[in-house]
A = this chain, B = another copy of it.
Amino acid sequence: MPTLEPTTLRASLKQNRRKLTRARQAVLDILATADRHLTPAEIYRRAKATHPHLGLTTVYRTLDLLAELGYIQRVHTSDGCHSYAPSAHTHGHQLICAVCGRTEEFSDCDLAKLIQTLQRKTGFEINVHMLELVGRCPSCQTKRGARRK
Q: Measuring CB to CB, which residues of chain A are less than 8 angstroms from any residue of chain B?
A: 76, 80-81, 95, 97-98, 104, 106, 108-111, 114-115, 118-119, 122-138, 141
* One of B80, B95, B115, B122 near A118 (C-beta < 8 A): B95
**Copies of this protein, total:** 2
- How many whole Å from A91's CB to the nearest CB in chain B? 14
- Closest residue on chain B to residue A98 by CB atoms: B128
Contacts A110-B114, A114-B109 hold; do A122 and B134 have CB atoms under 8 A apart?
no
Chain A binding site: helix, strand, loop or mixed by DSSP? strand
Q: Cβ of A133 and Cβ of B125 under 8 Å apart?
A: no
Indicate the member of A106, A123, A129, A135 with the most B CB atoms within 10 Å.
Answer: A135
What CA separation (Å) do A110 and B108 show in the bound complex? 14
How far is the CB of A82 from the nearest CB of chain B, in Å? 8
